[in-house]
Amino acid sequence: MSTKPYRVLVGQIFQETHGFSPVPTPMRAFEVDPASSMIDTQRQSDSTLGGIIRTLEAAGVELIPSIAARARCGGKVTNEAYAEISAAIVAAAEHAQADAIALDLHGCMQTEALDSAELDLLTRLRAVVGPRLPIVAGFDLHAHATADMLSLLDFSSAYKTNPHADAAQTGQRVADHLLHMLRTGERPAGYFLRVPMLTSGNDETGTGPLHAIHQSAQAAIGAHTDLIDYSVFNVNPFIDGPQVGQGVLVYGAANAPPDHAANLANTLAQNLWDARAAFVHTLPTIDDVIARYPRSAQAITIGDFGDRVLAGAPGDSVHILDRVLTRGDRHITIIVADPDAYLRCAEAGVGATLETSLGASLTPGLTPVTVSGRVNHIGDGSFTNRGQFMKGGVLRLGPYAVLAGKHFIAVITQDAVMSQDPGCYLDAGVPLDNADIIVVKSGYHFKLAFQGYGPCVIAETPGLTGFAPDTLPFSKCRPIYPLDRLTPVLEAQRLTRG
Ligand SMILES: [Zn+2]
């Protein structure tokens, strides 16, 4: 037996695209760890890549770094940014003479030119390393998984939880299966099928239809030793592209009869389809929320569901501000991306009073408001997460102005900001102790951080991230539920590569 360690190339390219956002995601939106530092940085991380690195290092594998790049959800990645990041991985694969490649991919990344950046990346990697070299990947469960993409991989697996709490375990699982493949030469047999449907909410894994589907999948994997792993991909419902839909992937052992894996995939897909009408949630309007929570000593934190930056929206809606100012009986604290209003404040300077149009400058169909206030602060920088989600993590605020009026205080930013944490206000110098209403551009994760201020609720608001597929111009993925009437044939196919 050879004592020479296996050499595995590792890399990460991670962005979830909102395919209908008019605001592209440029290179500056990515946090990049270059080859020289990515192993040390990512070894500490709770990411899929962190799980891959720790598992492979513990097994004595020699890691070959390429690049690790992550950006928040947003519009399509610019061709330049994708070219730069993907070239680093492909060039490393060309020169590394690795025994295998292990990747951390979101799986739902689109560029200005590509409906699936991951399909492009894996196709180029195969062109460089050939059909035999093992390539494995861990995915977010909101990936745009297709048979074309998955057949380029020898093993892949998605998170099993939403909200996502198992990225590192996913990396560990992927690395463990890679090690088995390297030691035995065996390749697991993958079976995949697409379910032509979009979800419209109610898609957390701890409750609702997905809870039952994951429970039955785990029971089946536990009961059959020839079943290796399953993934249920619930595609991010804000992209269009060929084969967009739900995906089910089951791997069986290399030489096992195919029935178990294919049957499990078929059953899970049928369960998804049968539950299609249950993947919907209905939300109160802003006026409903205000009526339900009378003014009190506690703040209400309202998630602006239609304009969730955490789901890729531009963060420029002022719908909630407009409703609250029109009523005139509460004070509201809001964060709004509006590059022009930011510039007007910056030009006016700290201490100046001005009247300005605010919001609705990026998302089609929204309406701006006109507000008057004093420029309290101009800044540029970042904020630190206080709450459980990404606690201690530093996120970009970028250039911003704080404008304060009679019934409002607004943090006006040049770019969209993830605002699931009070840090985005506190580190911009905006205290929250006396707020009546705090607006965040998040649908779920903010509850973990804002509950100390009072009730946290989400409201139905206009914008690009409400679950209203009939308002978005889907074309390439049609026919698809709920936009079309169809009766799908749900039959898993073995993933094969030429
Ligand atoms: Zn996700």
CA 313–ligand 1 middle distance (angstroms): 15
Edge-to-edge, what's the strand order for the sheet holding 332-337? Answer: 353-358, 369-384, 394-404, 408-413, 332-337, 437-440, 300-304, 456-459
* Amino acid identity for residue 264 in this structure: L
CA 354–ligand 1 middle distance (angstroms): 40
What is the predicted pLDDT for the residue at 4?
A: 87
CB 194 within 8 A of CB 150: no
Domain with CATH 3.40.50.2300 in the chain: 7-279+489-494
- Residue 469 in tokens: 């597929």
Crossing angle of helices 259-274 and 208-223, rounded to 10°: 170
CA 186–ligand 1 middle distance (angstroms): 30
CA 141–ligand 1 middle distance (angstroms): 6
421 C-beta neighbours (distance < 10 Å), count: 27
Distance CA 229, CA 218 (A): 9
CA 13–ligand 1 middle distance (angstroms): 14
What is the predicted pLDDT for the residue at 445?
A: 84
CA 246–ligand 1 middle distance (angstroms): 13
Average pLDDT by consecutive 10-residue portion of the chain (498 residues)?
A: 85 97 94 96 92 98 97 95 98 97 98 98 98 97 98 98 90 98 96 97 92 97 95 97 98 88 97 96 93 94 96 96 95 98 98 98 96 98 85 87 97 95 97 95 90 94 92 96 97 91
CA 164–ligand 1 middle distance (angstroms): 7
CA 171–ligand 1 middle distance (angstroms): 15
DSSP-based three-state secondary structure for 57: helix
CA 140–ligand 1 middle distance (angstroms): 5
CA 340–ligand 1 middle distance (angstroms): 31
CA 8–ligand 1 middle distance (angstroms): 26
pLDDT tens track for 202-230: 898 999 999 999 999 999 999 999 999 99
CA 15–ligand 1 middle distance (angstroms): 10
Handedness of CA 18, 126, 56, 224 (dihedral sign): positive
One CATH from 3.10.330.10, 3.40.50.2300, 2.60.120.1600, 3.40.50.720 for 7-279+489-494 = 3.40.50.2300
**Cα-atom radius of gyration of the chain, to the nearest Å?**
23
What is the predicted pLDDT for the residue at 2?
A: 55
pLDDT tens track for 337-380: 999 999 999 999 999 999 999 999 999 999 999 999 999 999 99
